[in-house]
Structure 1
Amino acid sequence: MLIDSHCHLDFPDFAEERDAIVERARAAGVGRLVTISTRVRRFDGILALAEAYDTVFCSVGTHPHNAAEEQDVTTKELIELSRHPKVVAIGEAGLDYFYDKAPRGLQAQGFRRHIAASRDTGLPLVIHSRDADDDMIAILEEESGKGAFPFILHCFSSGARLAEVGVALGGYVSFSGILTFKKSDALRAIAETVPLDRLLVETDAPYLAPQPYRGKRNEPAYVVETARVLAEVKGISAEALAKQTTDNVLKVFSRMPAIAANSE
């Protein structure tokens, strides 16, 4: 069984067929989905989705794009909202210098509040990092010095140094459909260096559909294609990769219930 560790089921792209999407994932062997929050002020919708499906879990947090509009979100509020049993992570939060949709200082402030919530709750922080490797490394090293916290470098497309530092600090690295793109040789080379026990797979659906679906709307069932390529990169079978990444998800998303043997 595979787990899509990062998708966005609340996005309007899926509004008309969420039941079918969850069922197609199940039929493809993707037994659990984690739908990721991008706005705390819309958390109720995310939580409702997680409560509607046994196989769906969620996070709570503010995407760096939305850092300016959610400056009032406090660490205390994140901690309180995360108490629901269906919430398995904090985030996604981080730094995005590619689009720069929010001032960088506000992105960093929000990111640090999410780190504090992760450290307090023990829930993993889902980290978004784009074109911000140096600042991301500096914050991760500084904040880890204050006390360890679990984290995931989601949809990894950064440089080798960030992956190296992330693993050294105890983090996980999650690969999306970008790994399957023809021009992603450098990314596949980085994936080859990440220890098996620190790897996750995700879709980031509805974005970044893997080959052979590139250019179409992505959905959780397609994580199978990313896992297949990652297995090839690591030189192991698809079954071994599925078992390892599922074990990794259950370890880092420590609140997620164990999986019954007859459900695999």
Structure 2
Amino acid sequence: MIFESHAHYDDEAFDEDREELLNSMRENGIEYVVNVCAAADGLEKTLELTEKYPFVYGAVGVHPDDAGKMNEEILQRIQEYCRLDKVVAVGEIGLDYYWDKESHEIQKKWFEAQMEVARSERLPFIIHSREAAQDTLTMMKGLRAAEMSGGVIHCFSYSKEMAKEYLDMGLYIGIGGVVTFKNAKKLKEVAEYAPLEQILLETDCPYLAPVPHRGKRNTSLNLPYVAEEIARIKGISCEEVVEVTCRNAKKMFGIKD
């Protein structure tokens, strides 16, 4: 059974068939899903999904693109929600200099604040970092992330050398549909280099569907394509990729069968 470590089923892209799709997960080999909050006004949507579906867990946090909407009240709510049984991580949080919707200083301020919530609540973190490699790494080191309760660099998009920095901290690398793209040379190198014991499978759905569905709405049902490509790159069986990454996710999120 596959563990989907990063999905956004609260997204409006699933409004027409969300229930039908989620109810089909287990029969299609998806054992658990972590629904990851991104928007400042979307925290409760993730909690609702965790309450409705036994196999859905939640991560609470605000994406850097929404950092300008953050305030102390929202931060306090995130901290309170971290104490709910089915909330298993703080995320997704971090830096995004690609869209650059918010100033870098505002992004850094709320990235650090949410990391401190993860520290105090002893939960793992889910990091979003796009076009912000050095600043993210500098902040992670400054925050002593390696001494916290674990975490994942989601949708990893940097070099093998940068991956080593995070792997050496004991963190996980999140790999999704991009690894199936022909032009994803860097990510294929990272997938080959990183120990399987430090890789998580993810989709970031509805975004980043793998080949052969690239450009379409993504769902967790596409995760076998990701597992197959990692298996091909590493020269191992797809079953081993699924088994080990599932074990990794359960360990990181603290989920016991």
Q: Structure 1 residues 30, 119: CA separation in 2 closer, same or farther (over 3 Å shift)?
A: same
Number of the residue aligned with 2:35: 35
Equivalents in 2 of 1:71, 1:234: separation in Å? 44
Number of the residue aligned with 2:7: 7
Shift of 1:250: 0.7
Residue 180 (1) aligns with residue 171 (2) = no
Identity of aligned residues (%): 34
Helix, strand or coil at the partner of 1:41 = coil
Q: How many residues align?
A: 257
- Contact 1:209/1:222 (8 A) holds in 2: yes
Number of the residue aligned with 1:95: 95
- Contact 1:40/1:60 (8 A) holds in 2: no
| One-letter code aligned to 1:100 | D
Q: Structure 1 residues 73, 222: CA separation in 2 closer, same or farther (over 3 Å shift)?
A: farther
Equivalents in 2 of 1:156, 1:77: separation in Å? 28
Number of the residue aligned with 2:128: 128
Q: Deviations over 1:144-182 (max 9, x none)?
A: 179434111001112223211111111100101000001
| One-letter code aligned to 2:45 | G
Number of the residue aligned with 2:137: 137
Residue 22 (1) aligns with residue 22 (2) = yes
Q: Deviations over 1:20-47 (max 9, x none)?
A: 2113332321111111001243211110
Number of the residue aligned with 1:66: 66
Name structure 2 gaps, 5 residues minimum.
none
| One-letter code aligned to 2:81 | L
Q: Structure 1 residues 164, 25: CA separation in 2 closer, same or farther (over 3 Å shift)?
A: same
Q: Deviations over 1:59-96 (max 9, x none)?
A: 11000000011133565442211111111110100000
Q: Deviations over 1:76-128 (max 9, x none)?
A: 44221111111111010000011101111111111111111111122111000
Equivalents in 1 of 2:86, 2:98: separation in Å? 32
Equivalents in 2 of 1:77, 1:169: separation in Å? 29
Shift of 1:191: 1.2
Number of the residue aligned with 2:54: 54
Moved over 6 A (4+): none
- TM-score, reference length from structure 2: 0.95
| One-letter code aligned to 1:3 | F
Over aligned residue pairs, what C-alpha RMSD do you find? 1.5
Number of the residue aligned with 2:240: 240
Alignment of 1:95-244 (within 5 A): 95-144=95-144, 147-244=147-244
- Contact 1:95/1:130 (8 A) holds in 2: yes
Equivalents in 2 of 1:247, 1:95: separation in Å? 28
Q: Deviations over 1:196-253 (max 9, x none)?
A: 1110010000000001111110011111111111111122111111110000001110
Equivalents in 2 of 1:74, 1:20: separation in Å? 31
Equivalents in 2 of 1:146, 1:213: separation in Å? 36
Residue 249 (1) aligns with residue 249 (2) = yes
- Contact 1:71/1:106 (8 A) holds in 2: no
Helix, strand or coil at the partner of 1:111 = helix
Equivalents in 2 of 1:57, 1:148: separation in Å? 21
Helix, strand or coil at the partner of 2:42 = helix
- TM-score, reference length from structure 1: 0.93
Equivalents in 1 of 2:107, 2:234: separation in Å? 34
| One-letter code aligned to 1:220 | S
Helix, strand or coil at the partner of 1:67 = helix
| One-letter code aligned to 1:169 | M
